[in-house]
Structure 1
Amino acid sequence: MKNRSLSISLLLVFCIFIPLIIGFIGSFFTMTSVTGWYLTLNKPWFTPPGWVFGPAWTILYILMGVAWWFVLRNGIDSPSVKTATMWFLVQLVVNLLWSLVFFGMQSLLGGVIVILILILLIGITMLSFSKVSRESVILLIPYLCWTLFATILTISVYLLNSTM
């Protein structure tokens, strides 16, 4: 019993660690642009202050990890868990891709395209998680909401800075 508790605890740490690492990697692309290029852009009135993003994303990555843990606890060999994990990891890579495209490549239109794909993938992930764990879906709701807000923000920044 003690070994099972340790295994479950280590799995939780692993599940939280992976999204946090992705966020950490993404922050490298963000930090190089946020103090230069990003400051030159026109932004909508509802843009949050810069200090909000770090804590918000940290909390969201932790919630994502815990959600994934709820899924994995149902048996890693289960086909529905494997499918849910695949979608989770795909959306996590696209999450990282947004930072690379928007901040790293400084592509506003590319950022819009990537974040729209991300919204779709979060929805697919939530649907696949729902087949395994109700708690996992609930834990992803703040991530979906924040990403919807980020989508509106990204589209607004694109529109305010495009030379149609």
Structure 2
Amino acid sequence: MRYMKPQNKSVLIISILIPLAIGSLSALISGNMSMYSSLNKPSFSPPAYIFSVVWTFLYILMGISSYLIFVSGNASSGKALILYGIQLFVNFCWSIIFFGFSQYLLAFLWLILLIILIILMIQQFYKINPVAAYLQIPYLLWCIFAAILNYTILMLN
């Protein structure tokens, strides 16, 4: 295994902390996540505690992935990281739309936008570092599942 310079360790840690902080801030602003238990949900809806576990894991993968792009030295990494930042902002807003404002239709449409952005980001990342792209696949799959869940909740409520 190649030795990692101390400044690269710091960049890796910061890269992981950014999505974790953004996710935590979104959850904090959303506030009313307890309302989820009162919603009519489909049978395939996971228990509420699963969401924080999965999102923590996904945010860590996102951070590692963005780190790989950041340190790649590739001329396209700036463009790819801007797309990463945009999708992270869209991700940030979804919880606020769904939990904070209970706007299930808008949240569903917002998730479709997020899924499109994730696909575009994966394509950009793949050109720079395929591993960085592969690390985003669980995030994409989870967001597709979230969109199906969101749509079903919209229909049931």
TM-score of the two chains, using structure 2 as the length reference: 0.94
Describe the superposition over 1:27-74 as per-residue Cα deviations: whole angstroms up to 9, x where unpaired.
1144x3222x32332111100001101111000000000001111111
Q: In 2, Cα distance between the equivalents of 1:27 and 1:110? A: 18
- The correspondence for 1:152, drawn from 123, 148, 151, is 148
Q: In 1, Cα distance between the equivalents of 2:85 and 2:7? A: 21
Q: In 2, Cα distance between the equivalents of 1:17 and 1:40? A: 32
Equivalence map 1:5-154=2 (5 Å): 5-30=5-30, 32-35=31-34, 37-75=35-73, 78-154=74-150
Which amino acid letter does the alignment assign opposite residue 63 of structure 2? G
Alpha-carbon distance, 1:159 to partner:
1.1
Q: Matched residue pairs, number?
A: 154
RMSD: 1.2
Unmatched tracts of structure 1, length 5 or more: none
Q: In 2, Cα distance between the equivalents of 1:83 and 1:131? A: 12
Q: In 2, Cα distance between the equivalents of 1:25 and 1:34? A: 13
Alpha-carbon distance, 1:105 to partner:
1.1
TM-score of the two chains, using structure 1 as the length reference: 0.90
- % identical equivalent positions: 36
Contact 1:29 1:103 in 2 (8 A): no
Q: In 2, Cα distance between the equivalents of 1:137 and 1:73? A: 14
Deviates more, 1:121-130 or 1:38-47: 38-47
Q: In 2, Cα distance between the equivalents of 1:126 and 1:47? A: 27
The 4+ residue runs of structure 1 with deviation greater than 3 A are: none
Q: In 1, Cα distance between the equivalents of 2:9 and 2:127? A: 23
Contact 2:94 2:107 in 1 (8 A): yes
Unmatched tracts of structure 2, length 5 or more: none
Q: In 1, Cα distance between the equivalents of 2:106 and 2:75? A: 34
